[in-house]
């Protein structure tokens, strides 16, 4: 036990001397939080729109006005021909091109159905489909008003038919902001980087400069060395988590609805996997560069892609969805988001927690065994 403490103390002394490390653990998390909080925004607002209004009537102007007043569209240009509209979309100036036919007002006056054209730049599928949804709802509303207007004019005082209206409420994230979903995920990302990447680097660094050889000649047992290396990074990981939670509340006003204690407990279970993977990488790599490449490209990137951090798992092909079941970050992401946004606890998340524990113990045990064998 004393030996482990000696190693831990040494790690912290080295950590203190390394300003880069200090930055990575204490400052980078806040930056990352801000970047992801502001930059990663999948919300669709201010869709640049170009209009080709062939009718130029009062009704067509009212219709276009309903786009501007919705807040989702920015009608920045009116054009006089198709070619010009096409160019605007091709240049990427406009995402939506609206074409209103010549007889727009006339046919509405005759109580006929009018068709108009809405052309989208669909290269960003997400943005295109969300904008299309807005267009449909604006048009529906406009049509409904025309209907009501007609009924008023005809003196019809009651609804001729019953109708259905869905009262939509988004729970946990009422304004449906991407940020509220992304920011808690950063906790999982940072905790992984510190416990996985930095741990493996710290061990391989000693290999590289030759101090590991010196340590092997001392009576330090592999188990003690392992604990001495892992504990400091686990502590730093928790320090980062604390910083991120604080910053999350201070900057974005996102305050965990669930128990912080439960979050820390889940984090502890989660880092069994990441520390284990870090150890594994350290036994494979000879240089810090190798360790870095392995950690980033072989472990971190697939883990992030398959965790549901940014790409929804439900949208993946079934085969890939199965793959995500072995990715520890997947479970941790679910837990973190559920605890922070929904206020969930053990009762709702015990399955994810058990999966995490199982994978963690497995990875950690295998890696520890390999680490011990390599040093002996």
Query: How near is the Cβ of 202 to other proteins at its closest, in Å?
Result: 12
Residues that bind other proteins (CB under 8 A): 2-3, 6-7, 9-10, 13-14, 17-18, 209-211, 213-221, 376
> Is the CB of 125 or the CB of 210 nearer to other proteins?
210
Q: Scanning the structure block, which residue is given the tokens 């203190």?
A: 16
Query: How near is the Cβ of 376 to other proteins at its closest, in Å?
Result: 8
> Is the CB of 216 or the CB of 366 nearer to other proteins?
216
Contact call for residues 280 and 363 (beta carbons, < 8 A):
yes
Query: How near is the Cβ of 190 to other proteins at its closest, in Å?
Result: 24
Element (H, E) at 74: strand 73-78
Query: How near is the Cβ of 13 to other proteins at its closest, in Å?
Result: 6
Give me the phi and psi of 129, to 5 degrees please: -70, -35
Query: How near is the Cβ of 341 to other proteins at its closest, in Å?
Result: 42
Q: Are strands 117-120 and 73-78 parallel, antiparallel or unpaired?
A: unpaired
Q: What angle do CA 263, 301, 335 make, to 5 degrees?
A: 20
> Is the CB of 217 or the CB of 347 nearer to other proteins?
217
* Cα distance between residue 30 and residue 10, in whole Å: 27
> Is the CB of 17 or the CB of 153 nearer to other proteins?
17
> Is the CB of 5 or the CB of 298 nearer to other proteins?
5
Query: How near is the Cβ of 193 to other proteins at its closest, in Å?
Result: 22
- Would you list the DSSP string of 344-372? --HHHHHHHHHHHHHHHHHHHHHHHHHHH
Alpha helices in 165-315 (DSSP H): 178-192, 199-209, 211-217, 222-252, 260-284, 288-293, 301-305
Query: How near is the Cβ of 70 to other proteins at its closest, in Å?
Result: 59
- Would you list the DSSP string of 110-127? TT-----EEEE-TTSHHH
> Is the CB of 107 or the CB of 207 nearer to other proteins?
207
**Distances, alpha carbon 372 to alpha carbons 4, 310, 366, 367, in Å:** 15, 37, 10, 9
Query: How near is the Cβ of 295 to other proteins at its closest, in Å?
Result: 22
> Is the CB of 215 or the CB of 284 nearer to other proteins?
215
* Cα distance between residue 375 and residue 279, in whole Å: 12
Contact call for residues 325 and 356 (beta carbons, < 8 A):
no
Contact call for residues 217 and 2 (beta carbons, < 8 A):
no
**Residues forming beta bridges with residue 77, ordered by sequence position:** 50
> Is the CB of 79 or the CB of 230 nearer to other proteins?
230
């Amino acid at each position: 036990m004393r030996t482990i403490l000696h190693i831990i103390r040494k790690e912290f002394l080295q950590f203190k001397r390394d300003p880069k490390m200090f930055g990575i653990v204490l400052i980078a998390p806040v930056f990352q939080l801000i970047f992801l909080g502001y930059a990663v925004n999948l919300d669709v607002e201010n869709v640049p729109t170009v209009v080709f209004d062939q009718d130029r009537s009062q009704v067509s102007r009212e219709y276009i006005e309903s786009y501007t007043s919705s807040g989702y569209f920015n009608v920045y240009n009116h054009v006089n021909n198709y070619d010009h509209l096409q160019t605007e979309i091709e240049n990427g100036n406009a995402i939506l091109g609206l074409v209103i036919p010549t007889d727009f007002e006339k046919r509405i006056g005759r109580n006929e159905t009018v068709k108009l054209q809405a052309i989208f730049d669909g290269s960003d599928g997400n943005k295109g489909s969300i904008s299309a949804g807005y267009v449909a709802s604006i048009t529906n509303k406009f049509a409904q008003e025309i209907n009501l207007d007609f009924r008023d004019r005809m003196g019809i005082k009651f609804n001729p038919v019953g109708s259905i209206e869905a009262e939509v409420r988004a729970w946990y994230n009422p304004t449906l902001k991407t940020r509220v979903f992304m920011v808690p995920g950063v906790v999982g990302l940072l905790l992984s980087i510190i416990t996985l990447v930095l741990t493996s680097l710290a061990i391989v660094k000693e290999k590289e400069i030759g101090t590991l050889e010196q340590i092997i000649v001392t009576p330090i047992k592999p188990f003690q060395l392992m604990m001495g290396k892992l504990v400091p990074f686990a502590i730093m990981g928790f320090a980062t988590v604390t910083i991120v939670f604080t910053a999350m509340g201070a900057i974005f006003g996102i305050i965990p609805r669930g128990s912080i204690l439960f979050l820390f407990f889940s984090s502890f279970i989660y880092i069994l996997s990441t520390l284990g993977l870090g150890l594994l990488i350290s036994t494979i790599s000879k240089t810090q560069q190798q360790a870095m490449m392995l950690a980033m490209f072989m472990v971190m990137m697939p883990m992030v892609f398959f965790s549901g951090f940014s790409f929804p798992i439900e949208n993946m092909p079934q085969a890939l969805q199965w793959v995500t079941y072995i990715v520890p970050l997947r479970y941790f992401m679910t837990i973190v988001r559920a605890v922070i946004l929904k206020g969930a606890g053990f009762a709702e998340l015990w399955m994810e927690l058990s999966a995490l524990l199982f994978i963690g113990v497995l990875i950690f045990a295998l890696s520890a065994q390999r680490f011990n064998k390599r040093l002996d």
